[in-house]
Amino acid sequence: MREETKKKVLSILTLTFVIAFAFSLGWGIYQFRMLQDYKMKTENQYKRALNDLVNNLDEVETCMSKVMVANSPAQKVLYLGETWKGSESAVSKMGQLPADEVGINYVDTLMNQVSDFSKSLTRKVASVEGMTPEELKMFNDMHDRVIDVNRAVQQISTQFYAENLAWLDKQPGFLERIGIGKILKTAAQGGESNGDNQGGQEASQQIPTSVGGGLKQLDTSLQKYPPFTYQGELDKHYVEKPLGLPQGDASESKAVSVAKDFLADMGYKNADPKITGLSQGPMGGYNMTYRDVYLEVSKKGGVLTYYRDQRDINERQMDVKKAVDQAYTAIQKLGWNLVVTSTEDLGDHVQVDAVAQESGVRLYPDKVRMTIAMDNGQVTGFDANPYYAYHHDRNLNKVLTLEQAKTKLNKNFAIIENRMAVISKLGTDEALCYEFRGTALGEEYLIYINALDGSEEKICRIVNTPRGKLIQ
Amino acid sequence: MYPDGKRRKEGTTFKIVTISLVLCLILSAASQAALGDRTLSQGSKGAEVKDLQKRLVQIGFQVGNVDGVYGKATAAAVKRFQKSRGIKVDGLAGSNTIDELKKLTGESTTSSGKKIGIKNTDVQLLAHCIYAEGRGEPYLGQVAIGACVMNRIKSSKFPHTIAGVIYQPQAFSAVDDGQINIQPDDGAVKAAREAMNGSDPTGGAIYYFNPAKTTNKFVWARPQIKQIGSHIFTR
């Protein structure tokens, strides 16, 4: 009797194990197939990006060669346009390839510059200005460098197909993958290769062992060339030389008193801001806090560049018009001469952009952005960084008369209002323009006619968004 | 002339038809009640509530499940929405609240009123990035993360679109580990909108890192601009 029970239990156990094993085996096969499937899909995306990149580069290289021989503006514009879009696309494709770090910046920089430079040339050539000999020379230099990049990437691609090259050099080991071996990189994007390039020289001689490695070598080989400099360059996000900061350095105590005065003007009684940090760079200075308020006073010139009160906002008590009035009151109190150019209704706040005005000419680059709290009309934000970065004495003498400028407009364009304005162009370039606001074909536009040479400098479309007017 | 009986019969038929028509109308109105026809409050159910929830989520106010049930999470989202728009905070979706919500979730139009879609659709992606990278940071620190992305677009070293910058391999740890897919809160969406609008509290930074967590030599070697919250922003 006992023997039988034992046997029974044993056979049930065996059966359970067999079923469990079969089940887990099935599950494993299923998982493995799924993984293969996902891997294939990802690989295909990578391959597609690599092939597109190779094509883009080849296309750009060919078009650049044609630009230099073309004689008619029509052909020049056509190939410049293709160069511009092709190089933009190459940068985008490069960003889709796997990488173990963000460090392949030199290729990106070169292609972005080619794109940027061709864009500005497209405009020049189309307006029958033509390319200057210097511009042609630079374009030629860029072409040479693009040829190098093109050949290197083709080499990688050929090797990829011939030798089944890996995408990346060394994969992280199992321990790293599960996060034990190495600390995960934080928000700190970026890789180490750019920082220490002592290994660069020998690396460029090696035959790449992976696509990522090959691109990294290419990047290193480009580092030795001097960068291109031309009018209207990119990299406008960072201002190297602020034009509007007053002379002289401010001490800590001076900075604190500047902040105190500002807070008094904004309606804080006996405010006592404390320095909590320093910021570097040409616009850098003293960072201060007071209750919910954060302020920055520049070291050079000792002016208040940034203020924000992050207090809780209560129920809305006013409309946008009232908020703009409040902004004007504050501007006056601070002793500025600004005109409000746009507003955005953020609900609890209204954001107001105001620009400097000089003898009737709006200086759009010299901008101050304010926010007004809608519960009591207090100014809760003040950002004068753009103003201090760009404000300087400008030559505001025009050549064209208003009537002459009007003849440059599209026949269907019905003018609503016009004024003079300085606008920013590509990079740090500016232009003195006639600004025309008007409608055509059921849409509203801002059109800028250069007041010196009469060219159509810029066209902005105005659309009504739920939060206010958007200038595109 | 018709005999009396027939006329009466006709009258009855007419009544029945009218009544059923009216009933039909009422029923269809009830089943397709549009958002804004009545005040919704906790406990409300139906298509209008679902519409309300969808619109709240569209502009970054998370309600949990979009299930057509006005529960605690929806009421809390309505309260946050009201607070952010300066409307009386009561958690009830009355006409004021719904009008404001409809306005903000509407399309952009040309000056002649033609609908041209929603502008700045990238704001959602940027908000995801900000939330994944900087939840727990002060609001200004979140705007700063968004400004970093926008600065990269203007820089010659990076791709020229928001998606291009955010999905560049190894650019953001939150993309590589999938945190980017967490739904952002309304603060992150607000910060994203402000950054896209051109606000830059970083002074032109294109990198940032958390000094307590980063050993990466490359970012430590970058020229630093300032610290906002727990991140150091660099050029």
Looking at residue A461, what DSSP letter applies? E
Share of chain A above pLDDT 90, in %: 48
Give per-residue pLDDT as tens, B13-60. Answer: 667 666 666 655 555 544 556 787 788 888 888 888 999 999 998 888
User: What pLDDT band is residue A419 in, cutting at 50, 70 and 90?
Assistant: very high
With an 8 Å Cβ cutoff, are A192 and B217 in contact? yes
CATH topology of domain B123-234: Arc Repressor Mutant, subunit A (1.10.10)
Domain ranges in chain B?
36-119, 123-234
Mean pLDDT is highest, among A367-371, B7-11, B209-213, for A367-371
Q: What pLDDT, on a 0 to 100 scale, did the predictor assign at position A203?
A: 38
Question: Taking residues A81-89, what's their average pLDDT?
Answer: 93
Distance CA A184, CA A442 (A): 54
Is-contact B213 B192, C-beta < 8 A? no
If you average pLDDT over residues A435-448, what whole number do you get?
Answer: 92
Alpha-carbon span A212 to A216, nearest angstrom: 6
Tell me: pLDDT of B216 over 50. yes
Hey, what are B57's tokens? 């989520």
User: A434 in helix, strand or coil?
Assistant: strand
Which site among B83, B168, B209, B232 would you substitute to test the A interface, given the most A Cβ atoms closer than 10 Å to its Cβ?
Answer: B168
Q: Which of A191, A369, A470 sits opposite B170 (nearest CB)?
A: A191
pLDDT score for A433: 94
Question: Complex ipTM, two decimals?
Answer: 0.81
Backbone φ and ψ of B225, nearest 5°: -105, -60
Asked if A88 and B160 come within 8 Å (Cβ–Cβ), the reply is yes
Q: What pLDDT, in 10s, does the model give residues A353-401?
A: 999 999 899 999 999 999 999 999 999 999 999 999 999 999 999 899 9
Has residue A175 got a pLDDT over 70?
no
A311 contacts: CB under 8 Å, gap ≥ 6: A291, A292, A373, A380
Which residue among B154, B160, B207 sits closest to A235, beta carbon to beta carbon? B154
Pairing of strands A414-424, A361-373: parallel
Q: Which of B46, B44, B194, B35 is nearest to B100 (CA)?
A: B35
Determine the Cα–Cα distance for residues A287 and A279; give it in Å rounded to an integer: 7
DSSP A323-375: HHHHHHHHHHHTT--EEEEEEEE-SSEEEEEEEEEETTEEEEEEEEEEEEETT
**Least confident window among A200-209, A261-270, A370-379:** A200-209
For A10-20, b/e burial (b = at least 16 CB within 10 A) is eeeeeeeeeee
Mean pLDDT of all residues in A102-112: 78
**Of residues A97, A116, A188, nearest to B216 (C-beta):** A188
CB contact under 8 Å between B218 and A443, yes or no, is no
Report residue A171's pLDDT band, with 50, 70 and 90 as the boundaries.
low
Say yes or no for a CB contact (<8 Å) between B173 and A186. Answer: yes
Interface probe with B: pick from A91, A186, A216, most Cβ of B within 10 Å: A186
Rounded mean pLDDT, A273-283: 90
Nearest Cα neighbor of B62 from B79, B74, B45, B49 is: B74
Question: Mean per-residue pLDDT for B91-108?
Answer: 87
C-alpha to C-alpha distances, B10 to A93, B15, B19, B24, nearest whole angstrom: 76, 9, 14, 21
The predicted pLDDT at position B26 comes to 54
What is residue A196's predicted lDDT score, i.e. its pLDDT?
Answer: 37
| Ranges of each domain in chain A | 27-222, 252-390, 402-471
Q: Which residue of B has its CA nearest to A239?
A: B204
- Encoded tokens for A65: 């060669």
| Residues of chain B positioned with their CB less than 8 A from the CB of A308 | 140, 201
Asked if B216 and A463 come within 8 Å (Cβ–Cβ), the reply is: no
CATH 1.10.150.80 for domain B36-119, yes or no, is no
Q: How far is B10 from chain A (nearest CA, A)?
A: 54
pLDDT of amino acid A239? 80
Give the DSSP per-residue string, A32-78. HHHHHHHHHHHHHHHHHHHHHHHHHHHHHHHHHHHHHH--SHHHHHH
Confidence of residue A173 (pLDDT cuts 50, 70, 90): low
| pLDDT band, very low/low/confident/very high, at A188 (cuts 50, 70, 90) | very low
Would you state the pLDDT for residue A384?
93
| Nearest CB to A189; choose among B114, B170, B221 | B170
Count CB neighbours of B146 within 10 A: 30
Tokens of A234: 């990119």
Whether A184 has a pLDDT exceeding 90, the answer reads: no
Looking at residue A197, its pLDDT comes to: 37
Chain B residues inside the 8 Å CB shell of A237: 150-151, 154-155, 200, 204, 206
Q: Band of the pLDDT at A209, cuts 50, 70, 90?
A: confident
pLDDT value at B218 more than 70: yes
Confidence of residue A199 (pLDDT cuts 50, 70, 90): very low
Q: Which of A235, A279, A374 sits opposite B86 (nearest CB)?
A: A374
Q: In chain A, which residues have their Cβ closer than 8 Å to the Cβ of B217?
A: 192, 195-196
Q: What is the mean pLDDT of chain A?
A: 85
Question: Are B168 and A95 inside 8 Å of each other by CB?
Answer: yes
Nearest in space to A311 (alpha carbons), one of B139, B60, B202: B139
Residue A50, φ and ψ in degrees, nearest 5: -65, -45
Of B108, B138, B157, the CB nearest to A463: B108
Please give the pLDDT value at position A48.
93
Residue B173 CB contacts under 8 Å (≥ 6 apart), including other chains: A184, A185, A186, A187, A188, A189, B133
Q: Which pLDDT does position A298 carry in this prediction?
A: 93
Asked if residue B1 has pLDDT above 50, the reply is no
Q: Please count the residue pairs, one from chain A and one from chain B, whose beta carbons lie less than 8 angstroms apart.
A: 208
Q: Return the closest-CA partner of residue A305 out of B137, B200, B224.
A: B200
Q: Do residue A92 and residue B164 have CB atoms under 8 angstroms apart?
A: yes
Q: List C-alpha distances in Å: A261 to A5, A20, A63, A182, A417.
A: 94, 77, 59, 50, 39
pLDDT for B22 equals 61
For residue A442, the Cα-to-chain-centroid distance in whole angstroms is 32
Do residues B182 and B131 make contact, with C-beta atoms less than 8 angstroms apart?
A: yes
- Are the beta carbons of A192 and B157 separated by less than 8 Å? no
pLDDT of residue B210 exceeding 60? yes
Cβ atoms B169, A98 nearer than 8 A: yes
Query: Confidence class of residue A79 from pLDDT cuts 50, 70 and 90?
Result: very high
pLDDT reading at B8 higher than 70? no
